[in-house]
Amino acid sequence: MSFRVLLAVLAARLAGWISRLTGRGGSSLPGLVARRIAPQVLTRLSQSLGWGTLLLTGTNGKTTTAAMLRHVVEGSGRRLISNRAGANLILGLTATLAQAERWRIFPRADLAVLETDEATMPRAGQEIRPRVVTVTNFFRDQLDRYGELSTTVQYVARGISFVQPDGVLVLNADDPQVARLASGSHEVIYYGLDAGAHVEAAGYDALDARFCPHCGSALTYDRRYYAHLGHYRCLHCGWQRPQPSVAVERWSRSEEKVWVRIRGEQYVFSWRMPGIYNLYNQAAAIASAVALDVPTATIEERLASFRPAFGRMETVMAGPTRLWLALVKNPVGFNQVLGAVADEAEGRQAVMIVINDRYADGRDVSWLWDVDFEYWVGRLKVDRWYVSGIRARDMAVRLKYAGVPKDLVVADEAVVSLLTRATREVGEGTLFVLPTYTAMLEVRQHLTQMGLVKHFREG
Amino acid sequence: MSDEKRFNILHLYPEHMNLYGDRGNVLALTQRARWRHIPSEVMVREIGEPIDWEAVDMVFMGGGEDTHQARIAEDFLKIGPELASRLRDGLPMLAICGAYQLLGQYYKTAEGRELPGVGFLDVWTEPGTTRAIGDVVTQTSLPIVPESLVGFENHGGRTFLGEGARPLGQVALGQGNNGQDGTEGALQDRVIGTYLHGSLLPKNPHLADLLLKWSLERRGVTDSLEPLEEEEEMAAHQTIVARSRNS
């Protein structure tokens, strides 16, 4: 064992201990310290994993899919490391592996499941040499960080080039930009939706990738599930959606069940999280579990006991008020969340939207104009809109231009005081709370202080 | 031209060129027309489709990814001469980011390829080494109150102005055209080119109304626009203006 790696790991744990002690969440500091001391620390630690590493990336659904996959893999009795707090940049990944054990230097785990930021994929791939890469989808998300969509796809493609020769790619067949990532040199498990019934496309979606990745012609869709996800083919060069080996064939919201065909055989799984996009998340988790050789019976059993992570469509009781929380971060996700609100709500509704523009939220709030409020305002029966966060005023303007009367909108930048007011006014009903990432952290902190949700360690 | 009140906006390539909520500009213009009971329609035009120029009161075009921009470039150059002659004739246009670049003389890609623009605006664009990303506040020379314009820029190209074009504003916050000469955007006849997303017009209602006024004037409607309550818009505007004071 190299002395530098030993030192790096110990220093990382000390840094983590100190930052927790001083009350800072700090999930990147230990990674920074470790990499300063031993730049190859991530490579060395990941090499010691018996089975290897799965990297999970894509625009939407990383956190939910990773949580589901973790829960399934833990049921198979294998020892697992994962970046639970979602620290998915290179420092976060390094910190996760360096802090996996208390006394030992190298992790004893069989495998690591690491949610990985798209732009981090080239570096993470090169250093870790993953056994499996799972890709969820590509949407415009936080373009101010990466520039443009095609750049993001290239990052992921480069990361995939480092997958071990006997490795597997788990790809969304219904997203043309993801399906194109099949390299030819790796086994691919495709997942997708094969529902017989036509799904009505709800609302305007910002269309991102409607062009054939091979020849650039417009793609023809026989069926579209949401945004650019569906059954597509190129009339010009003949390229088309690959047949998925993990295919969702049917679902029922009332029974909370989903029927999935895995390599020709049909299984029925529990399905708790509403929305088409959560069907995709669940399909991605199942296909990844298949790639990790988890028995189908285990997948079935573990999905039945899965509970969503905080803020990913969860409900919390605040006195008599039911708070329904869902993160919003890009137009497609926001449209889907509003669709879920419409499904969930009975009678009149109150909705609170919290928009921050810190780095982790995306500093550009232009995307609010790509959310189809014009469509949803007519379909939701909202009595009162509460808008908050650093960019509360932008959200108020967005609602105004979507035709919401001024007296139905309450705007206040201060999140806690508006949340308190909204909860009081809603009383025994449901308040739908839709915050961006850092706004969700504020909401969570407040609810923790009120004793409504348990505090959990981050990092 | 009749002096019938009407506001038809031609939205060029909304599928390809709508990168950062640029459709918000069209929503803002049409809503502000409708709130004043001026009938308003959006004419959407994609590659190869015909244009009924007589029905057009204003043109809008947004930014796109490089690959999407490359796809529409050929078609845009094809309609370029007709468009340019109407712009010279006083047809108002708002061109954001990629559209702003394409309306100029040429732009050079990061790989050094020089691509021709429509050549209406006397501006040209060179590749930059890093992307200019962040909030922008400028002081405009347009006859509007307040003088500030706010938005969010996100561009790799650096645009320079020739003698034919005036800057739209001087930056108080952000990079603007090229990060060197302190200018942002370009103004020529009644055409505004700018790097500002945000979306721009919803939080700059005074600029939206100027474009609306220009469009109506061209139809012979000269009465001043009925003022609208704009408390929300100006509050959003001030959120960004305040950042220039603290920077």
Least confident of A366-380, A400-414, A419-433, B161-175: A366-380
Q: What domains, with CATH codes, occur in chain B?
A: 7-246 (3.40.50.880)
pLDDT score of A312:
65
Higher pLDDT, A454 or A323: A323
Put simply, whether A214 touches B (Cβ < 8 Å) is no
What does the pLDDT look like over A44-85, one tens digit per residue?
A: 999 999 999 999 999 888 988 999 999 999 999 999 999 987
Q: Using the beta-carbon criterion (under 8 Å), do A148 and B23 form an inter-chain contact?
A: no
What does the pLDDT look like over A251-262, one tens digit per residue?
A: 887 788 999 999
Phi, psi of B166 (to 5 degrees): -100, 150
Model confidence at A455, in pLDDT bands (50, 70, 90)? very low
Fold of A312-458: Protein-Tyrosine Phosphatase; Chain A (3.90.190)
Interface test with chain B among A149, A355, A397, by most B beta carbons within 10 Å: A397
| pLDDT(A105) > 80 | yes
The SS3 assignment for B64 reads coil
Point out the residues of B that are catalytic.
97, 197
pLDDT score of A457:
33
From B31, B66, B134, residue closest to A148, measured CB to CB: B66
- Asked if the peptide bond before residue B146 counts as cis, ω within 30 degrees of 0, the response is yes
CATH 3.40.1190.10 domain position(s) in chain A: 3-303
Max mean pLDDT among A260-274, A279-293, A324-338 falls in A279-293
Distance (Å, rounded) from C-alpha B237 to C-alpha B247? Answer: 16
pLDDT score of A450:
84
Least confident of A139-143, A223-227, B57-61, B218-222: A139-143
- Sign, CA torsion B58/B63/B69/B71: negative
ipTM score: 0.95
pLDDT score of A228:
84
Put simply, whether A228 touches B (Cβ < 8 Å) is no
CA dihedral B73→B74→B78→B82, nearest 10 degrees, is 0
Contacts of B76 (CB under 8 A, 6+ apart): B12, B13, B102, B118
| pLDDT(B49) > 80 | yes
What percentage of chain A has pLDDT greater than the value 70?
A: 91
CB pairs under 8 A, 24+ apart, for A193-197?
A: A193/A225, A193/A229, A193/A230, A193/A247, A193/A248, A193/A276, A193/A279, A193/A280, A193/A283, A194/A244, A194/A247, A194/A248, A194/A249, A194/A261, A195/A225, A195/A248, A195/A249, A195/A250, A195/A251, A196/A249, A196/A250, A197/A250
| pLDDT(A197) > 60 | no
Q: At what angle do helices A3-21 and A29-37 cross, to 10 degrees?
A: 160
Q: Give the Cβ contact number of residue B60 at 10 Å.
A: 24
CATH superfamily of A3-303: Mur-like, catalytic domain (3.40.1190.10)
Q: Angle at the Cα of A160 (from A358 to B64), degrees rounded to 5?
A: 50
pLDDT score of A205:
46
From B28, B152, B156, residue closest to A364, measured CB to CB: B152
CATH 3.90.190.20 domain position(s) in chain A: 312-458
What does the pLDDT look like over B116-164, one tens digit per residue?
A: 999 999 999 999 989 999 999 999 999 999 999 999 999 999 999 999 9
CA distance A208 to chain B (A): 9
Q: Using the beta-carbon criterion (under 8 Å), do B67 and A374 form an inter-chain contact?
A: no
**Strand ranges, E, within A273-320:** 312-318
Q: Amino acid identity, residue B229?
A: E
pLDDT score of A195:
83
The SS3 assignment for A170 reads strand
Model confidence at A456, in pLDDT bands (50, 70, 90)? very low
Q: Using the beta-carbon criterion (under 8 Å), do B65 and A150 form an inter-chain contact?
A: yes
Which contiguous run of DSSP H or E holds residue A430? Answer: strand A430-435
What chain B residue is nearest to A207 in terms of C-alpha separation?
B15
Q: Taking residues B97-124, report their average pLDDT.
A: 92
| pLDDT(A398) > 80 | yes
Contact call for residues B171 and B183 (beta carbons, < 8 A): yes
Contact call for residues B203 and B112 (beta carbons, < 8 A): no
Average pLDDT value for chain B: 93
Distance (Å, rounded) from C-alpha A109 to C-alpha A405? Answer: 56
Contacts of A286 (CB under 8 A, 6+ apart): A72, A191, A246, A260, A262, A269, A299, A303
Distance (Å, rounded) from C-alpha A194 to C-alpha A178? Answer: 17
Q: Taking residues B47-56, report their average pLDDT.
A: 92
pLDDT score of A202:
43
Interface test with chain B among A153, A368, A399, A401, by most B beta carbons within 10 Å: A401
Q: Is the pTM of this model over 0.80?
A: no
